[in-house]
A = this chain, B = another copy of it.
């Protein structure tokens, strides 16, 4: 049987997929394990949550992405633990033996120990998260349409976003535009200008990894979209009617039926089973070559790892994952012939990982984005167009690119959002009891008889 060394890659995200593709041409056997059957283009997940894109637009089957690499197989399975002593990976229902291991299982949100908040304020990491958030946003509008009590209607039309990083800013901007443009004509009892988005950020500016001038530009752009940006403000409580916060002007309460979480990072729990030093957010502190102490055959890449490059911490972005994936794959491809083939030789010392910062970008909304690189910082239409091109370019899969071009062109022209599907459970909506602006008679079940006496049958049936 095939005795080529076996490389196991856990996780089919940016890091894992980049590593697997590089290894597809190396003299190894590769097994990619993921609990999902698709690679997710996470930077656009917020567009699914805000009904602009549909899940299939940003997800691509891992099998399809790797099908041309004969030496690669894909397993749909959840990894339960890793045993570096026996060089085995425990799966739901099986075990994998590896010669090299690449762990790229990414990160999730942190509720800073308040895990009970998760169901009240969902985060945005998976397709399921995105469709759940989409469901809550759309149901909130349906509920507001029915609600006649102005105070309660305002609660339904208030959307809270916790966290002023890229995800939070992008969510808040999109939520503002949904209120201002997308749903304007579709509802009868909602005044779009009533829609309110409140963005809470603990630090003194949004997008704090960006230059200050871009943080300010982003804040202005958000406020144009009816987003109320509250800086230096910490969320101290979350319940199903709103949030309690503590800010410069003391404590405050914001009543809102929809609260979204875009703060904090926690590494995927798998890291713990490695018995290696973790940082505060559970990320593994890796060696300069991204391996773990004492196990040069085990690499951790992407958001899961606390990677440094020339003393600088590598940010938890797609670029960091991509570059670290290629880096470790190159190490393996270089070492394998020297270690396992006939012509064994001295294995060269590994060069430490070097992160090349290509810059960061975030989009706030229609014709408004921010871009920061070493060389320049831009915002506005130009930045937005650049954002657009870059994201089209990096999307996995031909179809998705074609789609995205048409999709965005279409949305841009029509202000519409194409994926406004409420799937799954519909939350309890307010009782139908409004006399709508259009005058349709809608009676509460309780008050039915009463109201019917007040309201005579509109006309005798001509057939009576």
Interface centre among A70, A430, A438 (most CB of B within 10 A): A438
At the interface, yes or no: A68 with Cβ under 8 Å from chain B? yes
Q: A277 an interface residue at 8 Å Cβ cutoff? A: no
Kindly list chain B residues whose C-beta atoms are within 8 Å of the C-beta of A97: 441-443, 452, 455, 458
The answer to whether A438 and B406 touch across the interface, beta carbons within 8 angstroms, is no
Q: Is A281 part of the binding interface, using a Cβ–Cβ cutoff of 8 Å?
A: no
A433 and B94 contact, Cβ closer than 8 Å, known pairs A399-B410, A438-B70: yes
Residues of chain B within 8 A of A403, CB atoms compared: 403, 406-407
Which B residues are CB-close (under 8 A) to A128?
Answer: 423-424
Is residue A186 contacting chain B, with contact meaning CB distance below 8 A?
yes
For the complex, is A339 an interface residue (Cβ under 8 Å from B)? yes
CA distance A410 to B187 in the complex (A): 36
- The answer for the CA separation of A36 and B338 in the assembled complex, in Å, is 61
Q: How does the 8 Å CB contact mask read for A437-464 relative to B, with 1 for contact and 0 for none?
A: 0111111110010001001011101110
Partner of A93, one of B5, B73, B297, B445: B445
Q: A99–B185 contact, CB under 8 A? A: no
Q: Are A71 and B445 in touch, CB under 8 angstroms?
A: no
Contact A71 B186 (CB under 8 A): no
A87 at interface (Cβ–Cβ under 8 A)? yes
Contact (Cβ within 8 A) A37 B87 = no
Chain B residues contacting A138 (CB-CB under 8 Å) are: 37
With A422-B36, A458-B3, A458-B6 already in contact, the answer to whether A73 and B340 are too (CB < 8 A) is: no
Please give the distance in Å from A158's CB to the nearest CB on chain B: 20
Closest beta carbon of chain B to A398's beta carbon, Å: 7
Interface presence of A64 (CB below 8 A): yes
The B-contacting residues of A in range 341-389, CB under 8 angstroms, are 347
Chain B residues within 8 Å of A266, by CB:
none
Given contacts A421-B38, A422-B37, contact A67 B185 (CB under 8 A): yes
Question: In the complex, A94 Cα to B147 Cα: how many Å?
Answer: 12
Which of A11-19, A52-60, A213-221, A306-314 touches B?
A: A52-60
Q: With the chains together, A87 CA to B57 CA distance in Å?
A: 45
Known contacts A76-B422, A186-B64, A421-B59; is A6 also within 8 Å of B433 by CB?
A: no
Q: Do B77 and A432 touch (CB < 8 A)?
A: yes
Q: Measured between C-beta atoms, what is the minimum distance from A259 to chain B in Å?
A: 21
Take A35-B426, A95-B448, A97-B452 as given contacts and tell me if A439 and B127 are in contact as well, using a CB distance cutoff of 8 Å: no
The segment from A116-124, A238-246, A412-420 that touches chain B is A412-420
Interchain nearest-CB distance for A422 vs B (Å): 5
Question: Across the two chains, which residue of chain B brings its CB closest to A346?
Answer: B462
A86 CB–B CB distance under 8 Å: yes
The 22 sampled A-B contact pairs (Cβ below 8 Å) are: A2-B438, A6-B441, A6-B458, A37-B138, A37-B421, A71-B438, A86-B452, A88-B443, A91-B432, A94-B431, A97-B441, A97-B443, A97-B458, A128-B424, A296-B461, A297-B461, A297-B463, A339-B459, A339-B462, A340-B458, A399-B416, A406-B406
